[in-house]
């Protein structure tokens, strides 16, 4: 029996405060499981515990994009092969139950059987910085939209005397006018209370505008420096480029081909043929934010790119609907974006001193 066959496989079920690890042998037999704190000390204890079982073939980690992010980074730095494992589906949990040891053993078995083979994001470069800043920007944009909607709803029910002074203004002028309102001391009066609410909402919108502008001043040059070639593509702006970079991650070796990238973005149609009917249906999986980024590129090109408009006209004559045409275009855009995206990440990683594997030959 070879040394490879004698290696053990581990799995980790991650949580906010604790991680539960389990180990199986080369035959899939359960060896042991144990819980560790989700801290630096806990990670070292987990590594020491794993070493006691002998050579480790690989370790599957659930939630590498959330609770298991730092654990995956720690394990990768030690030279271990870390595999990203999806959480068990509902059917499996109904039949086998749910507990931390069960989930940890399931993660190990998924790696040993080959069902799980994904490489987690390293989250150690400029792309992770872009992702973190975009989280704050997206939250600010969402809060600003909510505040604007609330301001407009208050105006709908406001007394006519107040509504008449604010009617017909553009959104920017309306926010500025509401910020200048001076409510009286008697807030039991609906007019004065509405003025106070409108003023507070306008102040909030102004503060969020400043926050978004400040984040944009950081994000735009960072995105341009990380992926200049991506921004040169038609229909790709800083927002779309930032989302595509965040979806790909800092390590391009986790995406083996442009087909894998398209599948990650939910732009790979799923076969839905039956009998004599040969067709594909919409893929509702993958990263929906990345799918929306591809959708934005397609919409832009359909309105101002001659080559895309000619394609739309030809496919329309073939009998395809607009939605079906856009699905095809998303797949073509993913194929065009992939090599440029990988080249940008690889170049950035090399500049930062952590050269990555060149995958452009796989295109």
Domain ranges, ordered by start, for the chain: 8-113, 126-226, 228-362
Residue 350 has pLDDT above 60, yes or no: no
Share of the chain above pLDDT 90, in %: 69
Query: Tokens 């690889």 correspond to what residue?
Result: 346
Supply the Cα-derived Rg of the chain in whole angstroms: 26
**Residue 228: partners with Cβ closer than 8 Å, 6 or more residues away:** 344
Query: Residues 217-223: what's their mean pLDDT?
Result: 94
- pLDDT-derived band at 356 (thresholds 50, 70, 90) equals very low
Closest CA to 338 of 232, 257, 268: 257
pTM over 0.85: no
pLDDT the model gives residue 265 = 93
pLDDT of residue 196 exceeding 80: yes
What stretches of the chain adopt beta strand conformation (E)? Answer: 8-14, 18-24, 30-37, 56-62, 82-85, 270-271, 280-281
What local confidence, expressed as pLDDT, does residue 355 receive? 45
pLDDT tens for each residue of 27-81: 999 999 999 999 999 999 999 999 999 999 999 999 998 999 999 999 999 999 9
Residue 87's pLDDT is 77
CA dihedral 335, 273, 319, 287 (to 10 degrees): -40
Maximum mean pLDDT: which of 143-152, 227-236, 350-359: 143-152
How far is 67 from 61, CA to CA, in rounded Å? 10
Q: Strand 18-24 and strand 30-37: pairing?
A: antiparallel
Q: Is the pLDDT score of 361 beyond 70?
A: no
In the block, which residue shows the tokens 């341009």? 224
Domain 8-113: which topology? Nucleotidyltransferase; domain 5 (3.30.420)
For residue 268, report the phi and psi dihedrals to the nearest 5 degrees: -100, 105
């Amino acid at each position: 029996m070879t040394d490879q066959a004698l290696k053990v496989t581990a799995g980790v079920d991650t949580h906010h405060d604790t991680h539960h690890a389990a180990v199986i042998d080369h035959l899939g037999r359960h060896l042991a499981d144990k819980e560790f704190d989700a801290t630096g000390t806990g990670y070292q204890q987990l590594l020491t515990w794993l070493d006691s079982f002998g050579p480790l073939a690989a370790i599957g980690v659930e939630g590498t994009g959330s609770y298991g992010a730092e654990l995956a980074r720690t394990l990768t730095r030690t030279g271990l092969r870390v595999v990203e494992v999806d959480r068990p589906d509902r059917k499996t949990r109904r039949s086998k139950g749910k507990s931390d040891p069960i989930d940890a053993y399931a993660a190990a078995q998924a790696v040993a059987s080959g069902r799980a083979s994904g490489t987690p994001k390293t989250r150690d470069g400029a792309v992770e910085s872009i992702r973190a800043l975009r989280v704050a920007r997206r939250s600010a944009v969402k809060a600003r939209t909510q505040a604007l909607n609330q301001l407009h709803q208050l105006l709908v029910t406001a007394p006519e005397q107040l509504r008449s002074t604010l009617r017909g203004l553009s959104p920017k002028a309306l926010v500025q006018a509401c910020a200048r309102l001076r409510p009286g001391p008697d807030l039991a009066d609906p007019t004065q209370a509405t003025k106070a609410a409108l003023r507070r909402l306008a102040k909030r919108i102004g503060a969020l505008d400043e926050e978004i502008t400040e984040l944009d001043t950081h994000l735009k040059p960072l995105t341009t420096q990380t992926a200049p070639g991506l921004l040169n593509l038609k229909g790709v702006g800083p927002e779309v480029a930032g989302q595509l970079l965040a979806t790909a991650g800092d390590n391009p070796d986790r995406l083996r081909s442009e087909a894998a990238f398209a599948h990650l973005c939910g732009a790979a149609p799923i076969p839905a043929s039956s009998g004599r009917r040969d067709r594909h249906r919409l893929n509702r999986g993958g990263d929906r934010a990345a799918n929306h980024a591809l959708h934005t590129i397609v919409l832009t090109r359909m309105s101002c790119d001659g080559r895309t408009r000619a394609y739309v006209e030809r496919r329309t004559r073939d009998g395809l609907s607009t939605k079906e045409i856009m699905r095809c275009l998303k797949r073509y855009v993913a194929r065009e974006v992939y090599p440029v995206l990988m080249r940008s990440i690889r170049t950035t990683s090399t500049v930062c001193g952590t050269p990555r594997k060149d995958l452009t030959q796989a295109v």
